[in-house]
Structure 1
């Protein structure tokens, strides 16, 4: 018989200030915990590697919010024009839409972007190099991914600062001013509606123009006007553009900043990589495992009663899979709390697993590797410009990201 899950108080501040210690205690106490989240809603938190990995690929765990028990889940209140995206879909819709965009993120296509990404990195460093100090998050780790993903989609230069501000409002909402999130959502919807109309009238050499062409064609390639199996709805089109921009910015900015902080905390490793930048690819994988940007996978809802780690989770209830806890599980990774570039880190779950594995994983890896290579090459003596304990993390259980990263060189 499955065992009941222990109940666990959910201290969001502990997960922000000491996430890995907190997850270690939960993981030790049991594989699955019945928790009350910061929104006051119940959920089931899964903490051990094997259970998390298995659940990530379990087709019985749905991403579709319509399969949630009424009243048990409260997520972002996005309009349909932003909500019909891959993070809310199961097959066959998920398969259909992912097929349309996955070719833009293959390793071969991404490799062709290495030179343009390095050019962006150098331009950003040109602007700050002579100053000798900066908030690296604001001047480098943030602008680099937003520039790259906006270039890929064809977002005009003058709208990029707006989009970054709206994204920040969604990543870290101000509980004292809930209207700011609503304003950001409304602004995003109008932005994507206008951008799609502009690209539809004047297509460019960019991914969004390609997606619009797929939306407006008959979808089956025969030109007879019949709707093909791969055709996007208008809401799916705008939602896909939103997801690519949002995820392409949020995850990569935190990955770059967290990796830089890891190097600052391990100066011997930083000098080793400065002398041997060929090791940066392996280093990025270990940075993702050790302190990745997404502590939790996107929530799931069981289509039926599901047993996880010996605990029965009822259909329709919210399941949270802790990637952060799984990546520090000592039963899978030896000495998991140690940053070790020589370890076997194969199978880390920082970017997910199964059919919902991160679409932009090759791009995020490449951007982070180039961002670090440029920093190490051009900013000798890189060091924190504040005491380590003064660094603050975003008050979010969903994103592991710094508020600022003051450095000097």
Structure 2
């Protein structure tokens, strides 16, 4: 490589690092070329996101997989409290005393307790109710004009499911969804942080009231089980009980909601692959795994920090530094997947290889539930509306713009469910109810 070529590569790398740091709109719409360049030229790089706290971004598959299970890279953000407060503010702390932000042995204890919600028997028992909720939501969708599938279907379904699991009454779920949405889409400006604090305080107060009600009148739901565990065995502190409820509700529906949206969008923008799934419904489970790999809803794993100096891919991550693991990048690594930028619903072995649900001690506890929801939701949607189509030109989809988010998903997904029933052509987004 000539000196000029080296300089061009260095300049391009600097632009890629800057794009990943700032989360510019072009990058947010399609981060994959940036990630590819970083994997090839700066697989571990220092970035300064808008929250102002420097982080080290890991982009290669093998490095990401190892880092997700590395005990030297801690999930205990209370140990990095100054950085945590700088990013999220004090209001988040009371809701994050849970297994998502804990290391062993605390993480092991909390995970063991919460795993009661996700035993196969309890998950399978939800199947009829998930189907019922799915059918009801699809019944309510208009076939006369375009509909935003995210707000009408993809978001309400997993929220209803996790609320069923936890024990949130039906009449209270819409308000819970409203405040959860604020938390999911909040940026890092002062106005955003104030809005975030309002949402988190409102949800915390609601959870406290719900816990008190369930303690007086327990029902057949997970929250009642957790309260009993807390009161009889003192296995959970009051703070842990509250924040465990929070992480189940929040993590249990946002990832699946965005994943349903990503799945429909990805299939509709790959019509040959979509036709394969329509013609051969038994391909759907594998197609879902390929969607998780190709355009999953978790772009970056939750924050970690280095407990000691660590060298990864030749880059020193100093003790105390924040660590970001780019799952979206790892799942497009050519070293791990053949033709990684090709979407293939028949790709062999994808379920056992992708990092969409993480790996190691923090492997997603809700993965079986998410897979069931996805299969029921998409199978029902495609069976009822096999000719559904996008109601916007390819390339005009709007992706989440919160810089360097945990989630990767669309802000809206306008579709025509049954083109034969739409009158006067396809309406614009302004006509979507």
- Alignment TM-score, normalising by the size of structure 1: 0.92
Deviant stretches of 4+, over 4 Å: 69-73
- Residues 387-398 of structure 1 mapped to structure 2, 5 A cutoff: 387-396=393-402, 397=404, 398=406
Counterpart Cα distance in 1 of 2:386 and 2:108: 46
Aligned-pair CA distance for 1:129: 5.0
Deviation string, structure 1 residues 141-171 (Cα, Å, up to 9, x no partner): 0110001000111101122111111111111
Deviation string, structure 1 residues 76-119 (Cα, Å, up to 9, x no partner): 23355412111210011110011011132134432332221111
- Residue in 1 that maps onto 2:341: 337
Residue 414 of structure 2 corresponds to residue 406 of structure 1:
yes
Counterpart Cα distance in 2 of 1:41 and 1:79: 17
SS at match of 1:324: helix
Return 5+ residue gaps in structure 1 as ranges: 1-5, 220-226
- Residue in 1 that maps onto 2:181: 168
Residue 396 of structure 2 corresponds to residue 384 of structure 1:
no
Residue 191 of structure 2 corresponds to residue 177 of structure 1:
yes
Counterpart Cα distance in 1 of 2:245 and 2:190: 30
- Residue in 2 that maps onto 1:293: 297
Aligned-pair CA distance for 1:203: 0.6
SS at match of 2:45: strand
- Residue in 2 that maps onto 1:11: 22
- Residues 347-386 of structure 1 mapped to structure 2, 5 A cutoff: 347-386=353-392
Aligned-pair CA distance for 1:249: 1.3
SS at match of 2:408: coil
SS at match of 2:343: coil
Deviation string, structure 1 residues 211-267 (Cα, Å, up to 9, x no partner): 0010111x1xxxxxxx5xxx1000100100000000111101001000000111112
Equivalent of 2:317, from 313, 319, 331? Answer: 313
Counterpart Cα distance in 2 of 1:115 and 1:66: 40
Aligned-pair CA distance for 1:294: 0.8
SS at match of 1:177: helix
SS at match of 1:389: coil
Aligned-pair CA distance for 1:300: 1.1
Aligned-pair CA distance for 1:186: 1.1
Counterpart Cα distance in 2 of 1:72 and 1:36: 15
Counterpart Cα distance in 1 of 2:297 and 2:128: 25
Structure with the larger helix share: 2
Alignment: residue pair count: 393
- Residue in 2 that maps onto 1:212: 227
Residue 214 of structure 2 corresponds to residue 202 of structure 1:
no
Equivalent of 1:325, from 306, 322, 329? Answer: 329
Aligned 8 A contact 1:67 1:316 in 2: no
Counterpart Cα distance in 2 of 1:310 and 1:67: 26
The 10-residue stretch of structure 1 (376-385 or 107-116) with the greater mean CA deviation from structure 2: 107-116
- Residue in 2 that maps onto 1:255: 259
SS at match of 1:44: strand
Could you say what the CA RMSD is over the residues aligned between the two structures, in angstroms?
A: 1.7
- Alignment TM-score, normalising by the size of structure 2: 0.87
Aligned 8 A contact 1:254 1:400 in 2: yes
Counterpart Cα distance in 1 of 2:27 and 2:81: 26
SS at match of 2:200: helix
